[in-house]
Structure 1
Amino acid sequence: MTPAFLRTAVVIGCGVTGTSIALALTGAGVEVALVDQDADAVARARRTGAGTAWTPDRPPADLVVVATPPSTVVDVLHDAQARGLGHVCTDTAGTKDIVAAEAELRGCDLKGYVPGHPLPAGDPAAGPSASRFAGRPWILCPYDTTPRWALATVAELAALCGAVRRDMTPQEHDLAMAAVSHVPYVVAAVVAGGLLDVDPALLPLAGDELAGVVRAVAALPGAGSDLLAHNAGPVADRLDKAAGALAAAARMLHRGEDTVPVELALLLELGERGRAALEAAGEHRTAEDARGPDRM
């Protein structure tokens, strides 16, 4: 695909997501400049062929991609706009409501900023890959006042990465992520933490099912907690609902009555229906596709 609006880009944040985006853009013929507070991170990204290090003499790019944790996005965005690094900016954070609101309160140029969130496939531990976005959703949360030219530039970013654009409001995005990503991540962390009470000699008894569940927590805890704090309300509501269902199951088992098997079967039937709904939606995932904070 030949770039139309997007010929130059600056990627700020050379982690797995930022470097993967840079790789996809360079592969599509976009000239990419890399920025990171960690010079080693920039060097690693350069060695993969993701682009070149940004220098102050570069003219403003067509697009700036802020690929940093949610708590830093607005600061980085405001600085990038103040320094004139590019004409249009977007981000990759896994929460959108607070980020979008803070950008407005901070006085960022909203006409040149389109909040975004790619949902790459694959295990972040495997490292950057330009193919991580192929066929995957790339959510855009434009403001009501977002101009068409800015939206077109960020839409082209998603297309060049092979992703499928989907527009949502920030609130819709965060509610969805709480349900399909953030709460499962917390539950996986709780399940994994519970393994610390198990005799290590017994852990080899675990099957692939458990490994698939707990793989989602294979990332820096700070990254996950930062993201969850930025989506606190929707996550807390979902956790309350899940905790209520678990407490009900525990009460059934504590009672030990003859009706327990039937009552538990009804609860487990809801789980089976949820699994079937996920598969019907086309979300066929393997253990390697388990979602971690990099994708949340």
Structure 2
Amino acid sequence: MRTALVIGTGLIGTSAAIALASRGVTVHLRDHDPARARTAAALGAGTDEAPEGRVDLAIVAVPPAHVAATLAEAMSAGLARGYLDVASVKGGPKRELEALGLDLTAYIGSHPMSGKERSGPLAATADLFEGRPWVLTPTRDTDTEVLNLALELVALCRAVPVVMDADAHDRAVALVSHTPQLVSSMVAARLEEADESAVRLCGQGIRDVTRIAASDPRMWVEILSANPGPVADVLSGVAADLDETVRALRSLQSADEDKRRDGASGVEDVLRRGNAGRARVPGKHGAAPTAYETVAVLISDQPGELARIFADAGRAGVNIEDVRIEHATGQQAGLVQLMVDPAAAPSLSASLQERGWALRTT
């Protein structure tokens, strides 16, 4: 791939453009808002000047409702050898293109499984897709050359290609992406009218659950409007679990010992099923999940402290698999939770204590 045209310079389009441009591809940028394309160009994503001839690959990075029309326009104009979209739903756009009677040999659907709570070109980064799955949904007519262009795009963005059927993709993202967004928003919505005394107690648990609730509502309305059925199906199952859990909790309030026992059993059941589901979430580098041990270290909120603790862990010869920071309310301090291989935890703890760090139990 030597040339590409990115249509839509939001977070995903601009991030892909920056990644391609940084690896020697000549990238042309187009957006319905020329100012966004100029912003992306200023960030090193390419040029907002139109290509002189046909490019190798056109990447359509517009909201799902506009994908088919944008692709149809680009394909009719013969802008590229191959055409690809990055919308978060795949079945609907494919059916719309088929209904338009377009030749789909030059088209392949795709969806990079990466994003942020922030949107727009200013949120873009070249490493947004590194190590992340990038789903490809070829049609039965997709030409091999176009598939190879898509695979090259994924490789240049340092993502991991995953080939799926379009409708299977939509059911999958309803479960692992779209429903979590709604559930996170629903939990966060409970905080809107909560007493200030309750909000002040927010810890890492509520922060983890509500992180993605900060996402742009307008963007998510567009996404959910393109995949309502599969999301509703998953939410229906969640609603059934909620109903059962509410009944179980009510039973725990009963004076009847048998009802309290049944209530405890019901709550335990959903928690255990949650354990089993969480255990299936892929771990580091997509491998089977690993149970890490946490070494929690008290840290002051001063420049250089994080660098110092990571350096001390390196001197101990221990690889940090993951890290979380929990800030202390009303204090210039917090806990850094270092997740490490269980066998390495004792030596790391001893080494950090020798270097003056205060450890805490979690």
Is TM-score (shorter-chain normalized) higher than 0.5? yes
Does residue 168 (structure 1) correspond to residue 164 (structure 2)? The answer is yes
Distance 1:208 1:265 in 2: 22
Could you tell me how far apart the structure 1 residues matched to 2:140 and 2:179 are? Answer: 29
Q: Which of these residues, 7, 10, 13, is aligned with residue 12 of structure 1?
A: 7
> By how many angstroms is 1:136 displaced?
1.0
Q: TM-score, normalised by structure 1?
A: 0.90
Alignment of 1:248 with 2:244, yes or no, is yes
Give the Cα separation in 2 of the matches to 1:109 and 1:13.
Answer: 23
* Alignment map for 1:180-219 (pairs within 5 Å): 180-219=176-215
Q: 8 Å contact 1:120–1:132 — kept in the other structure?
A: yes
* Other structure's SS at 1:172 match: helix
Structure of larger gyration radius: 2
Unaligned 5+ residue runs, structure 1? 1-5, 289-296
Distance in 2, matches of 1:99 and 1:254, equals: 45
Query: Secondary structure, in 3 states, of the residue corresponding to 1:141?
Result: strand
Tell me if 1:271 matches 2:267: no
Shift of 1:219: 2.2
Match of 1:90 in 2: 84
Counterpart contact for 1:133–1:162, Cα < 8 Å: yes
Q: Contact (CA 8 Å) 2:89, 2:169: kept in 1 or not?
A: yes
Question: Shift of the alpha carbon at 1:286?
Answer: 7.6
> Contact between 2:117 and 2:212, CA under 8 Å: does it hold in 1?
no
Whole-Å separation in 1 of the counterparts to 2:13 and 2:159:
15
Separation in 1 of the partners of 2:135 and 2:180?
A: 20
Structure-to-structure mapping, 1:103-252, within 5 angstroms: 103-120=97-114, 124=118, 127-252=123-248
Runs of 4+ in structure 1 over 3 Å off:
121-126, 279-288
Aligned with 1:99 (options 82, 87, 93): 93
Distance 2:59 2:266 in 1: 50
Which of residues 28, 33, 37 in structure 2 aligns to 1:42? 37
| Unaligned runs of at least 5 residues, structure 2 | 254-258, 291-321, 326-362
Q: Which has the higher contact order (CA 8 A, sep 6+)?
A: 1
Match of 2:64 in 1: 70
**Larger fraction in helix:** 1
**Structure 1 residues 250 and 99: CA distance shift in structure 2, 3 A:** same
Rounded Cα–Cα distance in structure 2 between residues aligned with 1:175 and 1:54: 38
Whole-angstrom CA distance in 2 between matches of 1:287 and 1:133: 21
Question: In 2, are the aligned partners of 1:65 and 1:90 still within 8 Å (CA)?
Answer: yes
- Aligned CA RMSD, in angstroms, stands at 2.0
Partner Cα separation in structure 2 for residue 287 and residue 270 of structure 1: 25
AA matched with 1:91:
D
Structure 2 SS opposite 1:53 = coil
Moved more, 171-180 or 210-219: 210-219
Equivalent in the alignment of 1:258: 260
User: Aligned letter for 1:76?
Assistant: T
Distance 1:113 1:32, change over 3 A: same
Measure how far apart 1:200 and its partner are.
3.2
Q: CA deviation at 1:155?
A: 1.1
Q: Which moved more, 1:203-212 or 1:25-34?
A: 203-212
Assess, with a 3 A threshold, how the Cα gap between structure 1 residues 189 and 49 changes in structure 2: closer, same or farther.
Answer: same
The worse-fitting range, judged by mean Cα deviation, of 194-203 and 9-18 is: 194-203
* 1:54-75 superposed Cα distances (whole Å, 9 cap, x missing partner): 32x6201100000111011111
- Structure (1/2) with the larger strand percentage: 2
How far, CA to CA, are the matches of 2:8 and 2:170 in structure 1? 22
Tell me the CA shift for residue 287 of structure 1. Answer: 7.9
Alignment of 1:20-39 (within 5 A): 20-39=15-34
Displacement of 1:151: 0.8
* AA partner of residue 33 (structure 1): H
> Given that residues 53 and 79 in structure 2 are in contact (C-alpha distance below 8 angstroms), is that contact kept between their aligned partners in structure 1?
yes
How many residue pairs were aligned? Answer: 282
Q: Percent of counterpart pairs with the same letter?
A: 35
SS of residue paired to 1:130 = coil
2 CA distance for matches of 1:246 and 1:268? 12
User: Counterpart amino acid of 2:265?
Assistant: V
Indicate the SS of the match to 1:134.
Answer: coil
CA 1:121–1:98 in 2, change beyond 3 Å: closer, same or farther?
closer
TM-score of the superposition, structure 2-length normalised? Answer: 0.74
